[in-house]
Amino acid sequence: MSDIIQLLPDHVANQIAAGEVVQRPASVVKELLENSIDAGASSIKLILKDAGKTLIQVIDNGKGMSITDARLSFERHATSKIRSAEDLFQLHTKGFRGEALASIAAIAHVEMKTKLENEELGTHIKIEGSKVTYQEAIATPTGTSLSVKNLFYNIPARRNFLKSDTVETRHIIDEFQRVSLAHPEIAFSLHHNNNEVYRLNENNLRKRVVEIFGSKMNEKLVPIEEATEMMSITGFVAKPTYAKKKRGEQFFFVNDRFVKSPYLNHAVVSAFDGLLEQGSHPSYFLYLKVPTKSIDINIHPTKTEVKFDDEKALYAILRATIKHSLGQYSIAPVLDFNRDSTLDTPYDFSKKPSTASVPKITVDPTFNPFKKESQKSSGYISKQDVGSWESLYVTTEEKQEHETLFEGEKEAQANKTLQIQRKYLLSSIKSGVVLIHQSLAHQRVLYEDFLETITVKEVNSQQLLFPITISFSSAEIETIYSLKSDLESVGFLFDEFTKDAVTIKGTPPSISESKITIVLEELLENVNLDVPDTDFNPFDQMAKSFAKTLSIKTGTSLTQKEQENLVNNLFSCKEPSISPNGRAIFKTLTLKEVDHLFGS
> Radius of gyration of the chain from Cα atoms?
33
Confidence of residue 185 (pLDDT cuts 50, 70, 90): very high
What whole-number distance in Å separates Cα of residue 50 and Cα of residue 159? 13
Tell me: do 235 and 171 sit in the same domain: no
| 424 HSE (CA, 13 A, CB side) | 13
- Give the pLDDT mean for 592-599: 85
Count CA within 13 A, CB hemisphere, residue 447.
21
pLDDT tens track for 306-317: 777 778 888 999
* Tens digit of each residue's pLDDT (9 = 90 or more) over 80-97: 544 444 544 454 555 433
Residue 182: per-residue pLDDT: 95
Q: Per the domain annotation, does 343 fall within a domain?
A: no
The confidence band for 318, taking pLDDT boundaries of 50, 70 and 90, is very high
Residue 319 has pLDDT above 70, yes or no: yes
CATH of the domain at 64: 3.30.565.10
Last residue of a domain, one of 328, 348, 377: 328
> How many Cα atoms within 13 Å fall on the side-chain side of residue 548?
20
How far is the C-alpha of 262 from the C-alpha of 277, rounded, in Å? 20
Is the model more confident about 522 or about 2?
A: 522
- Span 479-517, pLDDT tens digits: 888 888 888 888 889 998 887 889 999 988 878 888 888
* pLDDT tens per residue, range 384-433: 444 444 444 445 555 455 455 445 454 444 457 889 998 999 988 888 88
- The amino acid occupying position 203 is N
β-pair partners for 127: 110, 132
Tell me the C-alpha distance between 146 and 374, whole Å: 100
Res. 458 pLDDT band, cuts 50 70 90: low
One domain, residues 560 and 451? yes
Is residue 473 in a domain? yes
The total of structural domains in the chain comes to 3
pLDDT of residue 90: 53
Same domain? 159 vs 253: no
Selected residue with higher pLDDT from 462 and 11: 462
Residue 120 has pLDDT above 80, yes or no: yes
pLDDT band for 373, please (50, 70, 90 cuts).
low
Q: What angle do CA 349, 350, 353 make, to 5 degrees?
A: 60
In this predicted structure, what is the pLDDT of residue 127?
Answer: 94
Confidence (pTM): 0.65
Rounded average pLDDT over 266-277: 88
Are 55 and 194 in contact, with CB atoms under 8 Å apart? no
Query: Does one domain contain both 473 and 539?
Result: yes
Question: Could you list the residue range(s) of the whole structural domain that residue 246 is in?
Answer: 205-328
Q: Residue 146: what residue type?
A: L
DSSP state of 86: G
Q: Rounded distance, CA 332 to CA 321, Å?
A: 13
Q: Which residue has the higher pLDDT, 395 or 326?
A: 326
**pLDDT over 70 (residue 343):** no
Do 256 and 196 belong together in one domain? no
Single out the residue of 79, 80, 36, 86 nearest to residue 57, CA to CA.
Answer: 36
Identify the top-confidence range among 24-38, 263-277, 397-411: 24-38
Give tens-digit pLDDT for 33-78.
999 999 999 999 999 999 999 999 999 999 999 999 999 888 865 5
Residue 267's pLDDT is 92
Q: In whole angstroms, give the CA distance from residue 520 to residue 526.
A: 10
- Asked whether residue 434 falls in the same domain as residue 523, the answer is yes
In what side-by-side order are the strands of the sheet with 432-437?
Answer: 417-420, 424-429, 432-437, 586-590
pLDDT at 109: 95
Indicate the residue type of 293.
Answer: K
The full length of the chain comes to 600
Residue 451 parent element (H or E): helix 438-455
CATH number, domain with residue 421: 3.30.1370.100
Q: Indicate whether 437 and 583 sit together in one domain.
A: yes
Phi, psi values for residue 348, rounded to 5°: -60, -40
**79 within a domain of the structure (yes/no):** yes
CB 507 within 8 A of CB 467: no
Of the residues 200, 224, 249, which one is the last residue of a structural domain? 200
Cα atoms found within 13 Å of the Cα of residue 322, Cβ hemisphere only: 30
What backbone phi and psi angles, to 5 degrees, belong to 475?
-65, -40
Q: Considering the domain boundaries, does residue 241 fall inside one?
A: yes
Q: Are residues 102 and 246 in the same domain?
A: no
